[in-house]
Structure 1
Amino acid sequence: MDKQAAFKNAILSGLYDQNYPGHELLTPQLLTTGASENLWQTLQDELLHCQHFTWAVAFVTLDMLVPLKVTLADLADQGIRGTLLTSDYLGFNQPAVFAELLKIPNLDVRIVDVDGFHAKGYLFDHGDFQTVVVGSANFTRSALLKNVEWSLKVSSRTAGRLTDQLAAQLATLTAQSHPLTAAWLADYRSRWQAPARPRVTAPLTGPVTPNQMQRPALKELAALVKSGARRGLVVSATGTGKTYLGAFAVRDFRPHHFLYLVHREQIAQKSLRSFRRVLGGPASDYGLLSSHHHDWGAKYLFATVQTLSQSATLQRLAADQFDYILIDEAHRAAAPSYQRVFNHFAPRFWLGMTATPERMDKQDVYALFDYHLAYEIRLKEALAAGMLAPFHYVGIQDYERDGEVVTETSSLRYLVADQRVHYILAQLDYYGYCGDQAKGLVFCSRQEEARELAAKFTAAGHPAAALTNQDSPSRRQRVVDQLVAGKLEYIITVDLFNEGVDIPALNQIIMLRNTQSAIVFTQQLGRGLRKFPGKQYVTVLDFIGNYRNNFLIPLALNDDTSRQVDRARQAVRLPATIGVSTVNFRRVAADRILQSLAAVKLDSIRELRAAYQDLAHRLGRPPLLHDFARYGSVSPLVFAANHQLGNYGDFLSKMGVVVTLTARERAVLTFVTKELMNGKRPHELLLLKLLLAHPDHRCNQEDLLATFNRAGAYVNPALLQSLDDVLSLRFFDVKAGKQTRRQLYGNQAIVRCPDLMDYQLDGPLARAVDEHQQFAQLLTDAVVTGLDLSTAYNAHQQFTRYQQYDRKDVCRLLNWPLDVSAPMYGYRVGERECPIFITYQKQDDQQRNAIYDNQLQNGQSLRWYTRSPRHRSSPEVQRLLARDGAGKPVVTIHLFVKRSDAVGKQFYYLGPAQIQPGTVSEEQLGAKKKAAVGMDLLLAHPLPVRLRRLLFEE
C-alpha cells in the first residue's frame, strides 16, 4: 500500500467507517490521559519523528520543562528546531518559565500580542504530512500527565485544507507576536503579579489523621497484634509519614509505657514532637534519653541507641519497663548495640520501621521481627499516590574528552578537570530547579573529589561545601542549615547522606558517581523527595559514564527485581512516568546503559542466589516459585529459562536445600517448568491443577470443560487434541541433541486420556504425588505459578496481541501435533494458519536472513519475503494467496516480530495480517539473485506508538 492510499484509509477509518484499515500514526484519534498513557507520551513521540514543530500554547508551567528539555536536546543534535507561540495572558506564565525557555537553543519562543490568547494546539511537520493535536491541554504537568483532558489528533497531507487553515492561523499569530528576549523578560518580571488563586490554609496545629497509605498499614498492624504476634515490621518509603504511622500505631495500642529507639538525638527530638501531636497529654509524659537528657520517668521515652545500650543504662531499666518498643531505622537493628537492647527488654510488642529493609551486608532484618512484614509502602507506590514530591530524572552522558569517558578507574585529575566542572555546571543550569535558588545535594566518588568540586563550584559562582564522614555532626548540621538558608547552593558528599538526613528544601539531586547498588540509588534519590512549601518537583541529574553497573539504573528507577533483561531494556528505550514524575534519558546515556545491560548476566546463579537469600530472609523459610511471583521479586520465568536449571528443585539443591527426587519426578518437574509454566496457554495447567486436587487424580471431560468455562478459556476439538498431544509428550517427539525432548521429559505420558473423555495422572506419577510430599509441593508450586503468570494473557483466544512468544510456543498454541519450531526458521504455512517470524534488525549483513528487507511501511504494513528459491507458482505461495468462496483468505497469517537476535528468542505478536492485493511480486534477492516472492502484510490492528518505537526504531 502506497502512502497516499494509507493516508486515505486512515482518514476514512477515523472519520467514516472503522472497517477501513487504521493507522496508528495517521488515523484521527481522541487522546486522553489514563493509567497506561498520557498526552505527554504522544507529544514526545511526535517530537522525536518530526522535521519541525510549531506550538501555540497559552499556558506553560515550569514543572514540564525538564522532560521537554531532554527531548529537545536530542533533537538539537539532529539540527531540528521548533517554535513556541505563547503569551503573558492573565499573568499565568511565571517569569521563571520564560527564563527557562530562553535556555533552549533550538526553540524559538514568540510572545503573542493578542488579548485573550488561549490556544492549545501542537503542530508537527513530518515533511509530506503534518499532525496536529488540539484540545483542552495546555503545556502543564497537570494537563499532560494527570488531568482528565481531551485532545484530538489529526494528520493532514500538505495539500489538505486543514493544513492550509493551520498554516494561515499560525502565520496570523506569528505576525502578531514578537520574539522572547532578555529585555522583554526583564520588563515582564518587573510588572508581573502572581494570579490570584484560592488559598487553602492548613492549621499548623490540631489533630493529625492517617493518610491513605497509613490507614491500611494500621489495620494490618492491629490484626497482627490481635493474632498474638510479639513483633512486626513496617517498610515505609522516606517521606511517607513513617513517624506519624508509628504514633498512630502506639495510640491504637495504648501502652502504659512506650520506648522509641533511634540512632540520632535529632531524630529522637523531632519524633517526640510528632508523637505528642498524635498522642496528646502533658509535656511531662514525654522525655528524652540521650547523652544530654535522662528523663527516666517519662511515660513516652525517646532514646538514642548509643545511650540506651550502655550496660549502666540497661541496669536501671527493668525488662518489662515498656510494653511497646518501636525501633526506627530498623535496618540497623542487627548491630550489636541494638542486639543488647533486644536481649534485655521483653515488651508486649516490638515494632520495627524502615524505608530500606534490604541491607548491603545481608543481615537478616526480617528475622529480628519474626518475619512479620505487617505492611509495605514502597517508593513507587508512594509517588503514584502523591505522598512525595514528584521528580524529573534525567540520565545525561558524563563529560567526554578525546574519546575518554568517566569510568570507575578515572583519575582524580580527570574528575575535577575545569572542562568537566564547566560541563556539569552547564547541565545543572540547563535543566534547572524548582524555586528561586538551587539547593542541591551532589553525590560523587571520592572525598578528595568532593572537596575539589566544592572549591570549583564556589569559584564559578555557585557556593558549595563538601561534607564527608570526617566532618563532625555539628559541622554537618551547620552546612545543612546554610543550604536551607540560601547561603550555599550545593552540598557535595560521598555517600554520607544516603539515609538519616532530612533536608526537605532540596530541589536538585546530582549523581556524579557509579551506581553501586539499587538500594543506594533509591536511598540517594529519596533524599530530595520530601514535600516542602513551594517545591513542586525535584530535578534529578544522573551523569552516566562508562560504568559496569549502569544496568542498575533502570532497575532502581522502576523498583524492578525481576532480573528480566527485556524489561530492563524497555525501561531504557521507553521510560514510563510514575504518577506525575518522569524518567528521561539522553540518547547517548541510554546507549551506555544498554551496553552495560548487554555485558551483564542478570539471571546468573549468583544473582538468583542473592535474590533467593533476600526473599528467604523476608519469609523465614526457603521461598517457592510462587513466592517470587507474589512478592514481586525475581520473575519465575527467569528460573525456567536458565539453562543450568531443569526445574526449581535443581535450584533449591544449589542453595543447600536437601531435595530428593527420582529421575521421573525431576523429568516431570522440568517438563512443567520449561514448557507450561510460562502461562501462555492456561489449559494444561488448569487440567493439572484439577487432577492434583482430585483424591484419585481423575476427572472427566465435563469437569474439565466446566473448569475452562470458569476460567474464561476458549475450547474446541483441536485444543482438546492438542492437550492430549502435549501431556502425552507426543508433541515433543523431536530431536534435541542425541535424544528427543520427549525422552528428556521422561518418555512417559504425564496425563493419560485415551478417548479424550476421561483424564487421569499417569499411575506412577499419581502415586509419587500421594507418597512424596516434597515432589507434590514442587509440582503444585509450578502449576499455581504458571496459572498466576497466565493472567497476563487473554484466555479467550490463542494469542494475546503484543505479548511475547517463541516459535515453540506458537507451534503448541496453534494445536500442531508436533513441535516443528527447530526447522521452521522464518515461517511455516499450515493448512489453515501460517506464523511468520521477523527479526527486524539483522546483526550481520552476511547472514542468510539479512537479504530480506522486512521494512515497516507507514507504521502499518511490512514488506515480507518468502524463503528462496520460491516462485508465485510454488505450492506454499499459492496456499498463502488462496481465497475461499467468500473471498476471505484460506490461511490466516499471524505476525511475530522481534527487534534483533540480541533480545533472545521471544517475538512480539502483532496480530493477524493480510496480504495486500497488488503487492505480490517475484523478485531476485541476494548476491546470487535467487527467486523469492515479496508481498506487503497489512496488520489488522494499528501498531501502538510505544511498541513501534521499541521494535522498529533506532
Structure 2
Amino acid sequence: MINDIMNSLKTSLIDNNFESNEDLQHKLLSNESEKILSVIREELNLCDEFIISVAFITEGGVVSILEELKKLAKKNIKGKILTGDYLNFTEPKALKRLLEFPNIELKILSNEDFHAKGYFFRRGSLWNIIIGSSNLTQKALTTNFEWNLKISSSENGKILKDTVDNFKKLFEKIPLLTIEKLEEYDKNYKLFKKYFKNEKVEKYIEKEGEIIPNSMQEKALESISSLRAEENKALIISATGTGKTFLSAFDVRKVNPKKMLFIAHRKNILEKAKLTFEILIKDKKMEIYKEDINLEEVDYVFAMIQTLGKDRHLEKIPKDYFDYIIIDEVHHSGAKTYQNLIEYFTPKFLLGMTATPERTDNFDIYKLFDYNIAYEIRLYDALRENLLCPFHYFGITDILVDGKYIDEKSTINNLVSEERVSHILEKSKFYGSCGEKIHGLIFVSKIEEAKKLEIKFLERGILSRALTGETSDEEREKAIKELEQGKIEYIISVDIFNEGIDIPCVNQVILLRPTESAIVYIQQLGRGLRKFKNKEFVVILDFIGNYEKNFLIPTAISQNNSFHKDFMKSFILNGTNLIPGESTIVFDEISKEKIFESIGETNFSTRKNIEHDFNLLEKQLGRIPYLYDFFNRNMIDPSVILKFKKDYDDILKILRPKINHGTLSEIEKNYLKFLSSIFTPGKRIHEMILLRESLKKEQIFVEEIEKILEKDYLLFNQRDNIENALKHLAKEIFTSLSTIKEFNKIFEREKENYYISKEFFKFYKENNYFKILIDDLIKYNLAYVEKNYKQSSQKTIELHKEYTKQEAFWNLNLDYNNGYQVSGYTVFEEIKKVIIFVTSAVTSYDNKFESRNIFSWFSKNQRSLKRNGKLTSEGKIAENYYEIEVFIKKENGENFYYMGQVEKVLSGEEIFNEEGKTLVEYKLKLKNSIKKDLFDYLIHDTN
C-alpha cells in the first residue's frame, strides 16, 4: 500500500502521465463531472470508521446519506460528527435524525465561528480525506460550485495525523449532544428563523415588486411569440410543477387580447388558474363560466370543459368571440367535448398545454396543433433549471409473504397484511419527510387495497383518507384541505391523482403499485415535485416487488425511453450522477437486483415496443421517423430496433407497408445490412468519419482523416486506429466469421491506399432512398459514440464501458478472426499481449475479488507453468511477460465491461481441478480500480 500511495503522489504532484492507482490519486471534487455526494456515499459504504466535521448540517444533507448511515449502523461501524450553531444554520431535525443512530457520536460546537469542513474515512490502515468547502447540505453535495481536495494517506501520514489530532483535541472537549440540549437549540433556532424570515420577505417585496418569468418561461415566451407570427396555434409541453399556468398568463398579458377563454377539466385547476391570472393581470374582469354569466361584462372567462363543451352552451357564443383560447391538460382533447369546442371556436390564437403528450388512446395531439411545438420543458430540464422541488428517491424492497415477494398476483390480504403495513410505516418513518409534519400521497393499484389500508393506518393512529374513482369531488377537496392543514398525514389514491391536481405541500410520495406505464409512474412521482414554502425536498419511497415491468423504473425516472440495457443498468448503479440538480437516487441491494433481473430477462426488441415509439415519433414529427430521430428524442434506441430486424428498410416495410419509401437492389440491401448489423451501434467514431468523408469524394487519405479527428474531436495520434477502421470496412479483419462472409466490402484497397467501393459510391449518388438510410446510420452512430463512448485518449476503447468479445478485439486494434468464438483468453505472442474474458458469476472456480483492483483468475484446464523445461504462455503470464487486457461480465448473456490493463500479476501457481488435471490460479492487480457501483454489481450474490 505504501508504494501505491507513493506512486499516486508522483502522479498527483509531479507527473500527470505517471501511471498509478487512480483511487489513491489526489482528486478535486467540485460537483462538475460527478456529484460530491457520490464520493461521500462510496466512502461511507467502504469505511471501517468515519469522521465528519462541518460547519452546517441540513436535513436534506442527512437524508441524502440515510441509506449509507443505515448500513453503517447495522455493521456497528463507529462515526464521529461535529458541527456548529453559527448563525443557527444547522437544522435541529437533521441533528435529531443523526441522534437516532447508536453508532454515531454527535457533538455541536456553540458560540464559535466554526467553519471547518472535512470528511475522514478509514479503511484498514488507509485513510481517505476530503477537505474543502462542502458542508453536509443538499446543495453543497450536489449542485453548488465547491472545491474539495480528496487525498489518501497511511495512518502514519503527517497531514492525516495533524488534522485528525486537531479534530480529536476539539471533539473531546465538547459534551455529546443530548435530546435536552437539542430541544434548547431548537427553540433558539425557531426564534432566529422567525425573525430572519420576516426580514427576508420584506426585502424581497421591496426589491422585486412584480412576479417575472423564470429563465425557461422567458425562452418559451419568445418561442410562442415567434411562432405566432406565422401560425395561429401552438403546443406547450411542460413538466408538472414548472409553471405552465403562469407561462400562459405571461403570454396573455403580453398579447393583451380583448376576450380570452381558459379551459380545464377540474374545478380546482380552474380556480387556481383564475387566481394566477388575477395576480399577473390587474386591468381585466375575470369570471368562472356558469349558466347565468353575462359574457359582455367579462373579459377573461375560465370554463370547465364538461360545461362549455356541450352544444347548448357553445351555441350561445359567436364562433369568433374569443381572441385567445387556452386549453389546459390538452392531451384529453381527443374526447368529444374537447373536439366540439375546438372545432367550434375560431380564435386568433389557440394555446394547448400538457405535461404528458404521449397518450395511450392513439389520439394525435401533435397533428391537432399542426406540429407547432412552441417549447418543451421536460422533467430533466426542469430539475436542471431548479424549477421543481428536488427529490430523494429510495428504491425499497417490498416484503416477502410465504417466501414470495409481492407481485402483480398478490392477494388483497397479502397487500394489506399487518406485516406489510408495518413495513410501509417503518420505512416512512425512517426516511421521513422535509418539515415537521408528513403531507403524504400513497399510490396503490386496487380500490379495495386503498380502503383497507386506510383502516389499517387509522388503527395505528395514522390519520389518512382513501380516495378512489368512487369518491365525490367534494370529498376529494375536503381530503386535500385536511392534508394541507396537517389534519391527516396521508391520502391513499388509486390513480385519480395522476394529473390535474395541485397539492404543493406534499413532501412524501409512496408508490405501492406495480409499474405498468412510465407515463403514469412519472405523473405520480411528479405529484410531490411542486415547490412550496419551507419545502427543501420531497422523499419518494418506491416499494419494489417482483413485478414484471420493473425495468420501467429507470426508464421513467431517467426520462430516457431508449430501452438501451447499458443505460438502464448504469442508471440503477449511478442514478444520482445521471440526474441533474440536487435530486438523489438510491436502490437497496435486493431491489437493485430485481430490476437488473427484469432488464436482463426482457426482450425490448419487439414489434409492439418499436411500433409504439414509431407511431409517437411520426405524430411528433409529422413524417416518417428514422433511426437518428429515435436516438435524438430518447425513444427506443436504434440498436434495440435493429435487433428486431437487421436493417431499417425491413422495419419500414413492416410498420408502413402501404407507403412507397423507395426500393433497394439486392446489393444495396447487402451494404445496408453490413453497416446496420456489424458497425451499429458504433463504439468509436473512426469508421463513420471515414465513410462520411469518402461519400463526399471517392478517395480519402489517412492524413485528411487525422486532421478532421484533431480539429473536430480533439483526438491526436490516431493513425493506427484509422488504419484498423479501414481494414474493417474493407473486410480484412474477422474474415472467418460466418456473420461477415455474406457481406460485400464497402472499402477497397489498392496497394497502401484505400478508397470507397465504386459500386457503393454509385448507389449512394443515384438512389436517394439508399442515401437517406446510409446518412441516417452515419448520423446515429456518430451521435451514439459522442454520447456513450466519447473517446478521450489515444486508445479507442473506454474504461468500464460495455463490449462484446468481437468489439473488444476490434477496439483494441487486434486482428483476430474469431472474435465471437474465442474462449477465456487469447495470447498474441508477436506483440506480447493477452486479452482475457472473465464471467464472475458463472465459473467452476472462485473468481474472487479481494478489492476493486485485485482478483483471482484461472487458466484453461490442462495448463501448466512450464512444459519440457520451458515457460508456457501461462507461465509467461505469471512472470509478467505480457501486457494483459481485462474484460469482465457478471453473467452469461451480458456484454463484458472493459477493466483496463493489469498492472502486475501478483502470483501464479498450479492447482488441480476436480478431475485431477492441472490449471493455473493467478492473482491479478489492475492499473485502474473498478468503479464502485460497477464493482458492487459484479460481486453481489443474487442467491
The question of whether the paired residues in 2 share the 8 Å contact of 1:913 and 1:939 is answered with yes
The question of whether the paired residues in 1 share the 8 Å contact of 2:447 and 2:494 is answered with yes
Query: RMSD of aligned C-alpha atoms?
Result: 3.2
Structure 1 residues 607 and 177: alpha-carbon distance in aligned structure 2, compared to 1, 3 A threshold? same
One-letter amino acid of the structure 2 residue matched with residue 369 of structure 1: F
Partner of 1:304: 304
What displacement does 1:699 show?
5.4
Partner of 2:764: 769
One-letter amino acid of the structure 2 residue matched with residue 517 of structure 1: S
The question of whether the paired residues in 2 share the 8 Å contact of 1:22 and 1:942 is answered with no
- Tell me the distance in 1 between the aligned counterparts of 2:27 and 2:708: 40
- Tell me the distance in 2 between the aligned counterparts of 1:144 and 1:282: 46
- Tell me the distance in 2 between the aligned counterparts of 1:114 and 1:923: 66
1:899 and 2:889 matched:
yes
State which of 270, 273, 276 in structure 2 corresponds to 1:274.
276
- Tell me the distance in 2 between the aligned counterparts of 1:857 and 1:321: 76
Partner of 1:926: 913
Look up the SS of the partner of 2:288 in the other structure: strand
Give aligned pairs, total. 921
Structure 1 residues 173 and 638: alpha-carbon distance in aligned structure 2, compared to 1, 3 A threshold? same
Structure 1 residues 810 and 833: alpha-carbon distance in aligned structure 2, compared to 1, 3 A threshold? farther
Structure 1 residues 903 and 294: alpha-carbon distance in aligned structure 2, compared to 1, 3 A threshold? farther
State which of 568, 580, 583 in structure 2 corresponds to 1:581.
583
What displacement does 1:605 show?
3.0
- More deviation, 630-639/163-172: 163-172
What displacement does 1:560 show?
1.8
1:53 and 2:54 matched:
no
One-letter amino acid of the structure 2 residue matched with residue 493 of structure 1: S
Partner of 2:376: 376
- Tell me the distance in 1 between the aligned counterparts of 2:51 and 2:703: 64
Look up the SS of the partner of 1:476 in the other structure: helix
The question of whether the paired residues in 2 share the 8 Å contact of 1:305 and 1:337 is answered with yes
Structure 1 residues 222 and 732: alpha-carbon distance in aligned structure 2, compared to 1, 3 A threshold? farther
What displacement does 1:503 show?
0.8
Partner of 2:672: 669
State which of 798, 803, 806 in structure 2 corresponds to 1:805.
803
State which of 20, 24, 27 in structure 2 corresponds to 1:26.
24
- Which runs of structure 2 are paired with 1:62-461 in the superposition (5 Å)? 62-88=59-85, 90-111=87-108, 115=112, 117-160=114-157, 164-165=161-162, 168-169=165-166, 171-192=168-189, 193-194=191-192, 197=196, 199-201=200-202, 202-203=204-205, 206-226=209-229, 228-283=230-285, 286-290=286-290, 293=293, 295=295, 298-461=298-461
State which of 798, 817, 820 in structure 2 corresponds to 1:819.
817
- Tell me the distance in 2 between the aligned counterparts of 1:361 and 1:157: 63
One-letter amino acid of the structure 1 residue matched with residue 604 of structure 2: L
What displacement does 1:621 show?
2.2
What displacement does 1:928 show?
4.8
- Tell me the distance in 2 between the aligned counterparts of 1:506 and 1:632: 29
Offset from partner CA, 1:614-647 (integer Å, 9 cap, x none): 222222222100101221222222223x1x4111
One-letter amino acid of the structure 2 residue matched with residue 442 of structure 1: I
What displacement does 1:778 show?
1.3
Offset from partner CA, 1:186-228 (integer Å, 9 cap, x none): 34434544366562543399533221111222222233223x3
- More deviation, 112-121/596-605: 112-121
The question of whether the paired residues in 2 share the 8 Å contact of 1:733 and 1:818 is answered with no
State which of 749, 752, 759 in structure 1 corresponds to 2:748.
752
Look up the SS of the partner of 1:519 in the other structure: helix
One-letter amino acid of the structure 2 residue matched with residue 689 of structure 1: R
The question of whether the paired residues in 2 share the 8 Å contact of 1:137 and 1:149 is answered with yes
Partner of 2:841: 842
One-letter amino acid of the structure 1 residue matched with residue 802 of structure 2: Q
- Tell me the distance in 1 between the aligned counterparts of 2:690 and 2:10: 46
- Tell me the distance in 2 between the aligned counterparts of 1:99 and 1:700: 68
The question of whether the paired residues in 1 share the 8 Å contact of 2:686 and 2:722 is answered with no
Partner of 1:9: 7
- Tell me the distance in 1 between the aligned counterparts of 2:87 and 2:712: 57
The question of whether the paired residues in 2 share the 8 Å contact of 1:60 and 1:139 is answered with yes
One-letter amino acid of the structure 2 residue matched with residue 24 of structure 1: E
- Which runs of structure 2 are paired with 1:851-870 in the superposition (5 Å)? 853=847, 859-860=852-853, 867=860, 869-870=863-864
State which of 902, 905, 908 in structure 1 corresponds to 2:897.
908
Look up the SS of the partner of 1:554 in the other structure: helix
What displacement does 1:669 show?
1.0
Partner of 1:786: 781
Structure 1 residues 732 and 540: alpha-carbon distance in aligned structure 2, compared to 1, 3 A threshold? same
Structure 2: which 5+ runs fail to align?
none
The question of whether the paired residues in 2 share the 8 Å contact of 1:53 and 1:123 is answered with yes
- Tell me the distance in 2 between the aligned counterparts of 1:279 and 1:113: 49
- Which runs of structure 2 are paired with 1:620-659 in the superposition (5 Å)? 620-640=622-642, 642=643, 644-657=644-657, 658=659
If the length of structure 2 is used for normalisation, what is the TM-score?
Answer: 0.90
- More deviation, 482-491/920-929: 920-929
What displacement does 1:478 show?
1.5
Partner of 1:832: 831
Structure 1 residues 929 and 372: alpha-carbon distance in aligned structure 2, compared to 1, 3 A threshold? farther
Partner of 1:886: none
Partner of 2:603: 601
- Tell me the distance in 2 between the aligned counterparts of 1:716 and 1:23: 26
1:687 and 2:690 matched:
yes
Look up the SS of the partner of 2:640 in the other structure: helix
- Tell me the distance in 2 between the aligned counterparts of 1:799 and 1:358: 38
- Tell me the distance in 1 between the aligned counterparts of 2:776 and 2:327: 36
- Tell me the distance in 2 between the aligned counterparts of 1:723 and 1:91: 62
Structure 1 residues 686 and 118: alpha-carbon distance in aligned structure 2, compared to 1, 3 A threshold? closer
Partner of 2:520: 520
Look up the SS of the partner of 1:583 in the other structure: strand
Partner of 1:554: 554
State which of 617, 631, 634 in structure 1 corresponds to 2:619.
617
Look up the SS of the partner of 1:527 in the other structure: helix
Offset from partner CA, 1:673-722 (integer Å, 9 cap, x none): 1222323232332232234345xx56566765665555445576655654
One-letter amino acid of the structure 1 residue matched with residue 685 of structure 2: P
What displacement does 1:41 show?
1.3
- Tell me the distance in 2 between the aligned counterparts of 1:253 and 1:756: 67
- Tell me the distance in 2 between the aligned counterparts of 1:167 and 1:815: 49
The question of whether the paired residues in 2 share the 8 Å contact of 1:407 and 1:545 is answered with yes
Look up the SS of the partner of 2:320 in the other structure: coil
Offset from partner CA, 1:854-894 (integer Å, 9 cap, x none): x55554455555545253645756987999xxxxx8x654x
The question of whether the paired residues in 2 share the 8 Å contact of 1:92 and 1:194 is answered with no
The question of whether the paired residues in 2 share the 8 Å contact of 1:235 and 1:354 is answered with yes
One-letter amino acid of the structure 2 residue matched with residue 779 of structure 1: I
Structure 1 residues 682 and 475: alpha-carbon distance in aligned structure 2, compared to 1, 3 A threshold? same
The question of whether the paired residues in 2 share the 8 Å contact of 1:856 and 1:862 is answered with yes
- Tell me the distance in 2 between the aligned counterparts of 1:556 and 1:826: 37
What displacement does 1:316 show?
2.4
Structure 1 residues 676 and 61: alpha-carbon distance in aligned structure 2, compared to 1, 3 A threshold? same
One-letter amino acid of the structure 2 residue matched with residue 749 of structure 1: K
The question of whether the paired residues in 2 share the 8 Å contact of 1:922 and 1:931 is answered with no
Offset from partner CA, 1:35-72 (integer Å, 9 cap, x none): 33122211111111122323333421111222322222
What displacement does 1:799 show?
1.6
- More deviation, 828-837/106-115: 106-115
- Tell me the distance in 1 between the aligned counterparts of 2:879 and 2:535: 65
Partner of 2:740: 741
